[in-house]
Structure 1
Amino acid sequence: MSFTKHETAIVDEGAEIGEGTRIWHWVHICGKAKIGKKCSFGQNVYVGNNVVIGDNCKVQNNVSIYDNVFLEDDVFCGPSMVFTNVINPRSSVVRKNEYLDTIVKKGTTIGANATIVCGVTLGEYSFIAAGAVITKDVKPFALMAGVPAKQIGWMSKFGERIDLPVVGVGEWKCPHSSERYLLKDSILMCLEY
């Protein structure tokens, strides 16, 4: 076994789990899940069947990753954050054929107790504040907060708030990585060297 699994965790037969992944107390990973290398799953995490998780993802305690949720590399899911898979759930109505895809792009951070409504895409390196409720697609590098969430700024790859307006034009250089960012037409781009 090329991954670490706590004795209380359940990994169903057939699950694909990458080298160096750590699975902690009372985690349940379903048999058709595909998980990359060097991931970490905190206690009481659930991973459904139609789920693909990239490399180096961190999923904190009490998170359920339901079918049709796809995490790219380097995604952080804070404690007790929530993914949904149906827009209009009713206990008396079966809607398993109505699950919508939720795509979380590379480097995204989702804060504690945030809710991600199904069918959205969270852009690369976006940052979802604790307790935010995401109901629409999120731009790359966007900082989102509130209920429902609104964009209140920008975040760098390093995780620093970028001193640029939400709308407008400008440039910013990260003091940690020296990466330069360009804001144009309400889109932020990282200009890598």
Structure 2
Amino acid sequence: MFDRVREDVRTMRERDPAARSTLEVLLCYPGLHAVWGHLLAHALWPRTPLLARLLSQFVRLLTGVEIHPGADVGRRVTIDHGAGVVVGETAEIGDDVHLYHGVTLGGDSPEPVKRHPTVRDGVTIGANATLLGDIEIGENARVGAGAVVTKDVPADVTVAGIPAKQVGEESSVEAEPSPSVE
């Protein structure tokens, strides 16, 4: 557990230029506190779901971040500012994901099935973005602030808008050279 905390603090210090010290990150970053609280609630979830839910609600009260104890959260997941983030029960978040405030990983079905997004490794999701349903956000994709995403997003692309659409070029594809004019 302590290795995980050290890893998360180091990652946040790398991602946030406002982080001045390890102690500041340990004490003053509610997004990290929410992830750590989720680790405990997630461990309790299979054996004592009510206790897990109570713990997750207490963490939400303290941090403003609601992560359902059934959600799977990877390593080095950081939540910048934190307020208003909601992660649903069947959501899956990979490693090295960065979420900004107001992000929702929400469901689109009342049925007890996989109904929340899967966010692959290295994804960044901008402030107040809403991702709904059993969709997949590919590795290293970026979701713009305020976007509403209801369809899969391929790896290495940026989407923005309502509804979200790809913007710019894929980062893994080199641009074609411009034809020369003679």
TM superposition score normalised by structure 1:
0.59
Aligned-pair distance for 1:49? 1.8
8 Å Cα contact 1:33/1:52 also seen in 2: no
- 1:86 paired with 2:108, answer yes
Please give the alpha-carbon distance, in whole angstroms, between the structure 2 residues aligned to 1:110 and 1:33: 26
Amino acid in structure 2 at the alignment position of 1:31 = A
Q: 1:103 aligns with which of 112, 118, 126?
A: 118
Q: Which runs of 5+ in 2 are unaligned?
A: 9-25, 45-59, 178-182
2:88 matched to which residue of 1? 66
Aligned-pair distance for 1:125? 0.4
Please give the alpha-carbon distance, in whole angstroms, between the structure 2 residues aligned to 1:110 and 1:69: 14
Please give the alpha-carbon distance, in whole angstroms, between the structure 1 residues aligned to 2:166 and 2:111: 31
8 Å Cα contact 1:33/1:48 also seen in 2: no
Please give the alpha-carbon distance, in whole angstroms, between the structure 1 residues aligned to 2:159 and 2:73: 22
Look up the SS of the partner of 1:31 in the other structure. Answer: helix
Please give the alpha-carbon distance, in whole angstroms, between the structure 1 residues aligned to 2:139 and 2:150: 17
1:140 matched to which residue of 2? 155
Q: Sequence identity of aligned pairs in percent?
A: 26
2:30 matched to which residue of 1? 24
Amino acid in structure 2 at the alignment position of 1:67 = E
Please give the alpha-carbon distance, in whole angstroms, between the structure 2 residues aligned to 1:65 and 1:112: 14
Q: Which has the higher strand share?
A: 1
8 Å Cα contact 1:121/1:138 also seen in 2: yes
Distance 1:163 1:114, change over 3 A: farther
Report the aligned-residue RMSD. 3.1
Q: 2:75 aligns with which of 31, 55, 65?
A: 55
Q: Which runs of 5+ in 1 are unaligned?
A: 4-17, 35-40, 88-94, 165-169, 172-193
Aligned-pair distance for 1:32? 2.3
Look up the SS of the partner of 1:144 in the other structure. Answer: strand
2:97 matched to which residue of 1? 75
Q: Which has the higher helix share?
A: 2
Amino acid in structure 2 at the alignment position of 1:32 = H
